[in-house]
Each structure stands twice: as C-alpha cells, then as structure tokens.
Structure 1
Amino acid sequence: MSTSYVFNPNFSYRNIVYQNEWQKISSGSLIGSLYYDYNIFDLNEADVINREKFFNVRLAPAYYYTFVLHDNWFLSANLSPSLGLRFSKTESGVEDNLEIENNTYITRRLGGGINLGYSSKRIIYGLNISFSADWYNEDNVSTTENDQFYGLLYFGYRFDPPKVLDKIFRPNKH
C-alpha cells in the first residue's frame, strides 16, 4: 500500500499511473510517498516449519515530469530513490522445537520509468517501461537484492458518465 502527495497541482499523476486524466501542458512535480506492506512466506513440509513474517515501511521522494510533445502526445519520466526499514520474524524447525529469529534491516530502493503515449477526449494509449532495484544487507557479508524491469502496453477508451452521475458531479453543465 502507499500514500502519496503531489506537490504541484498542475501535474497529473493520474495520467501516468492510471491513464484516466489528460495532461495538456508540460509540467512536473515532486511526489512524496510512504509505502508499507506486510508479508508472510510459509513453506511447511510434514512436521518442519519454515516461516518468515515481515513488515516493510519506506519513504520515497520521487520526481515526475511530463513533456507534452505535440497536441495529444506526451513523454513522461520519473525517478524515485527511497530508504526504509524491514522488521522480520523467522520461525524454523520442527513444531515442538521451533527457532525464532527477529531482525531489523535498513532497505534501499531505486525506481523509475519512461512513458510515451497519446491522450485525447476519448482515447488513450501508450507504452510504459519501468525498473526498480531493492536491496538490504542481511549482515556484514550478505546482501539480498531484487531487481525488476517490465513494460506495459495500454489502450483505453473513455466513455461518457451515466447522466445521473453527470448531473450530480457537474450540475452547471446541464
């Protein structure tokens, strides 16, 4: 989960992330985010237990910028370093002789991406390429790292809202 704040009201974060708004002029913004998640990995066989429970929390100051290239075409780029904590509890062994280990790690992450697309009143489509690198030191000699690189090809069509909702949210239009 995450909670974010866009510092520039003229920048459309929703255009890049959800493709449900239209950024008509070039603009950028610093976006502060707090990310948090809770996970359980459970690998049990017969009487042997291997379980890790962990809670991650991290702060990420990101910068996003959208260049409006020509009328409806846009190019967006973003970069986001972050720093956080991982609280981990590991349980391993047999049911009647369980070893429990608690650890706290400092986590680091670098993420970013590029989005090239087209947006109009009715149609939006584009290509989004993103990367992220997450890592933390388990001890003085061991580092856990998770790198991801992925692309998203999207196409959307915008429908008019139902008349009942349109009257409620835009009463002056009618």
Structure 2
Amino acid sequence: MSPKKFFFIGILILLSTFAFSQNDSIYQEVKQKYDTTYRVDYSNKMICRLNIDSDISNIYIRKVKEKSENKFIPNEIFKLRFSFDYKFLGITVSFSPSFFPGNNDNSIKGNTLILDLGFKFFYSDRLRQEIIYKNVQGYYLVSPDNDELIEAYPRMKVNTYGGKTFFIVNRNFSYRAYESQTERQMKSVGTFIPSLYYAYNTLETNAENTTKLFIDKIYSYDLIIQAGYMYNVVLDKKWFATAGFHPGLGYNYSNNFYLNNQNNQELEQKSRGLNFNIDANLALGFNNSNFFSGIKANYRNFNYINDLNTEFINTRIGFDFFIGYRFKESKPIKKVFEKIEEQLNKLPI
C-alpha cells in the first residue's frame, strides 16, 4: 500500500470514529453550554468569504556539515481563496491567479501552480477538525543572502496531506469568530487550545542535476503536539482583534533520496527526529450582523532536525485580507443538509 493511500485511510478511520461514535454528534442539534452573552451564532446562514493572502511556502534545504543552504521560492506572491460555511461544514479552495501583480514573471523564474483544498467542522462545540491538501509546483533557487535568482526548477513540487484536531478549553471563547466568522465574539475572552497536527509531506525536485540541491526527494511524516493560547479582544460592538501563539514539539520520520553521480544510482536514507514548530497569528476585523471584513497575519515555522546531514525547513509568513457576507439559508440547500443529518443520526454506531 502506498503512503498516500495509507494516510487517507487513516484520516477516514479517524473521521468515522469521532464523527459517528456518539448520539449527540455534530450533526444533531447541540444544546448551548456557553454563556450566550459572549457569543452570537450564525450557523443558520450561508457564509461566503473571499480572501487574498500571501501565505505561500519557502523551502530551505541545509547541508549541515558544510554549513550551506539552498533557498527555494515559488514564483507566486498572492493566492485567491473562496470559502463557504454552512451549519457543520466549511469548505475552502485556493489558487494563484496570474492576473495578480507579481504572479506572472514566468519567462525568468518559471511557472508556479498552486492549489489548496480545506475541509473543517466541529465534532462538538469545542472539538474541531481540519483536513488540508496543498500542492505547489514550480520553484526557483535563489541566493540565501540577497534572494537573487540562480536557477529555475519548474518541475519541483511540494505536496502536503494533513489534518489538525484541537480542543477549545474555554466554552465562551469563539474560535469561529476569528477563523471563519460563523460567530461573533461579544465580550473579550481567551482560551488555551491544545492540538494535534499530522501530515504526510513530499518534496520532489524532478531535476536532471541534483548536485546543487544535495537531495533528490524527501518523503516525511509528521506528528506534532501544540499547546496554544488565543485571545479575542472586542474593541467595539462590531470591531475585534485576535492574538495567538502556538509552540509545538513533534516527531518526524522521513525518507531522503540522493543521486549518486558516479554510478547514476539513487541512494535512500531513512531518519527519525524532532520537529520544533511555532505558529503565531494576529487579526483585526469588522464583524456586523451580515457583512464582515478584516486582515490577518500568520507566521509558521517547521524546523526539521534529523540524524542525517540534511535539514529540511518549511517557513511561511503570510498576510490575509478577507471580506464576506452572511446570506439567508437557501431552502434547497437546507433540505440537502437536513437529509444528510437525518441519515447520519440513524446510524446505529
């Protein structure tokens, strides 16, 4: 069985176990257990959101003993993301249109293709699940000192298949108000958010000459535990700010493939090591009964340290502008969701 199939089967088992194991699952009407003066719920509305963000990964491959580093940058600056939230489900689709400034310098740096897919829902009011798929193809090698172009690698690609499960300790804190605007925070409050992140990552250079890259392919598995804290500040009845910090420690297992130029054979080395991870986020926004807008800043650092001579580091610094509107629920869509809920609630598990 391939690693991808193994990963997807594991995700399906995880979802089935959590989502359908109890009679009071997310698909049934859950009694409010929080102070309603802190949170206003909009889950009975269809929420559409448009985001423009710069959350695009740079890749660093370090040769530890020689103290040298290769830095790869995708030839895209901005992504366009569409989101739809209704009742228990949220869906996002992201891509990088060429009409954005800075996304079309293909003749020099090569072409970059980006596609992100995301699904998110709550098992209960405080237990949340996210599933992600990310694909980036087309990077160019730059000098680590001044980011000047050295060489384009249009076939180099990075894939991520992952998920995150986390628990919101404080019932009165609205993560939905920060992340998807399916709620509104009415009073300032903070919470601890422990989480578990898991992912299967692939990096394939697909280059004829890998001597400059030190490496041909990396296939890795990550399991990270984070202990985060977030705080929602209600600046006015309709204005909010959010700050969060999420340090983490994890386990990484990877297969690294090198090209032996003497006999043109590929060498494989397996490694196990630690993953030091930091997430930080800030947000400022306007949240009315229907219209909402705002800006977010996100920093993510995944530092992989293994017992080989290579370190693979994935770093992201992104800014996100979003605007959206809450529409009245459509009767046909409402009927479809009600039928899904009805069938799921009949399951004997």
TM-score norm. by structure 2 comes to: 0.43
Cα deviation, 1:40-89, whole Å, max 9, x if unaligned, reads 2223457x993221101100111011011111111111000000011001
User: Displacement of 1:143 after TM fit?
Assistant: 5.1
Shift of 1:163: 4.1
Q: CA deviation at 1:117?
A: 0.6
Instruction: Give the AA of the match of 1:116.
Output: L
The structural deviation recorded for 1:142 is: 6.5
CA shift digits 1:114-150 (9 cap, x unpaired): 1111111111111111112222334598754443221
SS of equivalent to 1:19? coil
Counterpart residue number, 2:233: 67
- Answering whether residue 253 of structure 2 is matched by residue 91 of structure 1, we say no
Distance 1:73 1:34 in 2: 31
Q: Point out the more displaced range, 90-99 or 23-32.
A: 90-99
Which aligned pairs between 1:107-126 and structure 2 lie closer than 5 A? 107-126=275-294
Which structure features the higher share of strand residues?
A: 1
1:82 corresponds to which letter in structure 2? G
How far did 1:2 drift?
0.6
Indicate which of 101, 104, 126 corresponds to 2:269. Answer: 101
State which of 163, 180, 203 in structure 2 corresponds to 1:18.
180
Cα distance in 2, alignment partners of residues 142 and 40 from structure 1: 15
CA contact (8 A) 2:257 2:268 kept: yes
Of residues 325, 329, 333 in structure 2, which corresponds to 1:161?
A: 329
| Structure 1 residues 5 and 98, CA gap change in structure 2 (3 angstroms) | same
Question: Structure 2 CA distance, aligned partners of 1:140 and 1:93?
Answer: 15
Take 1:54 and 1:83, find their aligned partners in 2: how far apart are those partners? 16
Alpha-carbon offset, residue 110 of structure 1: 1.5
Q: Secondary structure at the match of 1:9?
A: coil
Q: Report the equivalent of 1:3.
A: 165
Percent sequence identity is 26
Aligned to 2:217: 51
One-letter code of the match for 1:29? T
- Aligned-partner residue type, residue 251 of structure 2: L
| 1:36 aligned residue (198, 204, 227) | 198
* Residue 147 to residue 39, structure 1, CA distance change in 2 (3 Å): closer
Distance 1:90 1:51 in 2: 6
The list of structure 1 runs, each at least 4 consecutive aligned residues, that deviate by more than 6 angstroms after superposition, is none
Cα distance change on mapping 1:136 and 1:7 into 2, 3 Å? same
Q: Tell me the amino acid that sits aligned with residue 237 of structure 2.
A: D
Q: What is the identity, as a one-letter code, of the residue corresponding to 2:176?
A: R
Deviates more, 1:142-151 or 1:63-72: 142-151
1:36 shift after superposition:
0.8
Distance 1:7 1:108 in 2: 23
Letter in 1 for 2:300: S
Amino acid at match of 1:51: K
SS of the residue aligned with 1:31? strand
Query: Partner residue of 1:27?
Result: 189
- Could you say what secondary structure the match of 1:70 adopts? coil
Q: How many residues align?
A: 167
Instruction: Give the C-alpha shift of residue 20 in structure 1.
Output: 2.0
Q: Which residue of 2 aligns with 1:171?
A: none
The whole-number CA distance in structure 2 between the counterparts of 1:153 and 1:70 is: 20
Q: Give the Cα separation in 2 of the matches to 1:116 and 1:24.
A: 15
- Bigger drift between 65-74 and 14-23 goes to 14-23
Instruction: Tell me the residue number matched to 2:248.
Output: 82
| 2:292 is aligned with 1:130 | no
